[in-house]
Structure 1
């Protein structure tokens, strides 16, 4: 039997009572989580648990590249962070957020290593790897980031600025992206200026175009048994006014649905559905829950739900001039 992996958790700006309570909870969930969690100094930790009062300071030092769980008072609004916990928190809330962090760590380590090995063994540079999508996901969902990131491709330089929700590329690269797969290196912080001739485009468009290479399945860190919901509508221009994709947007902004429910209600095939969900995940618009939300309606109501949504889509298409 393989030895259980250990991840180190560091605490910044949290009171002794909070740290003690968290360590006690870690003992409770030990065995229920896929890894063993131990305490470490922030510098040696794999994951940080940070007070919301210290979040800004953390993002400015050498710890900014580590996954960060922001602890905020339950009386305040949830901060715009990839991972957050209201204080006081319960054991299952802690387990859920740690599992989310593990999925992101898995993306940035084991999947990246796997893709490097595949690239080295097969010498295949013609397709974008999951490495790029994972790096795009990380920089987009690092809400406090104001940096500029760059990626190299045979068709030219790509710049991403998550703070402005834009990416920048020359027309030749944009044309290549629209035409088919482009091989990108993982994004990294860059001092490159946005030069004259580079065109700004919405970040969702980049997630959509690169996500086309991963439409046979969900991204590695997404669970097929989850319920999926959108936090807001994506850029409609990237969806090319597709009726099925607009239907997905309408469905998923209303409530969380399973893959089978989404297929039934939207009439999308598997590839189109996976493509859409992956692009929304990369661009930070997807909310996924492994546990079934209490708001999920019984399946016997699917026909009525489809009828109501059909009217919504018809009205939306009329406003867009598509009818």
Structure 2
């Protein structure tokens, strides 16, 4: 469980005492372990009378989360996270857990060059990528919890378990998940078990817009081997992209031109292949990497036109 530090400024004595008591109540029920700290060393600030606090003004420059407290008789504060005093346990839990979802990253995510917004959007996929590149013990499970239920994946990524609704959302690309966390409980018993490659593939295809943080956006790409479409199901656009990357090494722009796919579709396909350890990516692209000699271009163009026709696409 992640440890988070929270500081309190500008609250009345009654509100401060109530919050300290609340922290003891939520201990073990929150997604993180919350510890009291001074503002200089805190991850989150809980503030009252925010408009008149120099501490809050300095805090705002750090872009760290702040919880604005509304006392009785005060107007609602203009803040992303707010709490009304007297506090209620479930409201406090909801706010703390939402902040943890925004802050929560694996060590790999924390080391990523992505900014705060990317860390939030890519938290689950980055933690999944970390596990894919350094698999863990097959007897341990990592879990991501959603309102629909829990998705648990075996440490070696051989299988994952989730409720039917989560499987459906995953394949539709409509599943928003927090970063994976090591699960202390024994292996999950509820839900449908499926091959881990299905999770890796569809998580990549449902990625946010933009290139995955661990992939060089200006690089060139090829495939080690085709995805296992017998297990994953074959979409025409993925067959086209796989055929292209089996014949040469290309950047995103060239792949879009060859296959008629959008930049977002190509980037998500690359994310899926990368998670499945199928992608060969260069560190950086040069003109020599992406310029195809005329004989190869002719052969590839003919092959792609033929493949598109066989798949029922326009030439």
TM-score range, shorter chain: 0.5 to 0.7
Q: Distance in 1 between matches of 2:195 and 2:114?
A: 26
Counterpart of 2:260 in structure 1 is 267
Contact kept? 1:167, 1:201, Cα under 8 Å? yes
| Distance change in 2, residues 1:232/1:249 (3 Å) | same
Matched, 1:181 2:174: yes
Matched, 1:298 2:287: no
Counterpart of 1:156 in structure 2 is 149
The gaps in structure 1 that reach 5 residues or longer are 1-103, 120-128, 319-323
Q: Distance in 2 between matches of 1:256 and 1:292?
A: 10
| Distance change in 2, residues 1:157/1:144 (3 Å) | closer
| Distance change in 2, residues 1:171/1:225 (3 Å) | same
- Worse-superposed segment, 259-268 or 177-186: 177-186
- The equivalent position to 1:139 in structure 2, one of 131, 141, 146, is 131
After superposition, the CA RMSD in angstroms is 3.5
Contact kept? 2:145, 2:177, Cα under 8 Å? yes
Matched, 1:307 2:302: yes
Contact kept? 1:215, 1:274, Cα under 8 Å? no
Contact kept? 1:108, 1:135, Cα under 8 Å? no
| Distance change in 2, residues 1:233/1:305 (3 Å) | same
Q: Give SS of 1:160's match.
A: strand
Contact kept? 1:151, 1:187, Cα under 8 Å? yes
| Distance change in 2, residues 1:297/1:113 (3 Å) | closer
Q: Give SS of 2:179's match.
A: coil
- How big is the shift at 1:132? 0.7
| Distance change in 2, residues 1:185/1:266 (3 Å) | same
Counterpart of 2:111 in structure 1 is 109
Q: Distance in 2 between matches of 1:134 and 1:243?
A: 27
Counterpart of 1:41 in structure 2 is none
Contact kept? 2:124, 2:178, Cα under 8 Å? yes
Q: Give SS of 1:256's match.
A: coil
Number of residues paired by the alignment? 204
1:245-264 aligned within 5 A: 245-264=238-257
Contact kept? 1:239, 1:245, Cα under 8 Å? no
- The equivalent position to 2:225 in structure 1, one of 218, 226, 232, is 232
- How big is the shift at 1:194? 3.9
- How big is the shift at 1:182? 2.8
1:26-65 aligned within 5 A: none
- How big is the shift at 1:131? 0.8
Q: Give SS of 2:156's match.
A: helix
- How big is the shift at 1:237? 5.6
Contact kept? 1:223, 1:290, Cα under 8 Å? yes
Q: Give SS of 2:143's match.
A: strand
The gaps in structure 2 that reach 5 residues or longer are 1-105
- How big is the shift at 1:279? 1.5
Q: Distance in 2 between matches of 1:238 and 1:216?
A: 25
| Distance change in 2, residues 1:110/1:308 (3 Å) | closer
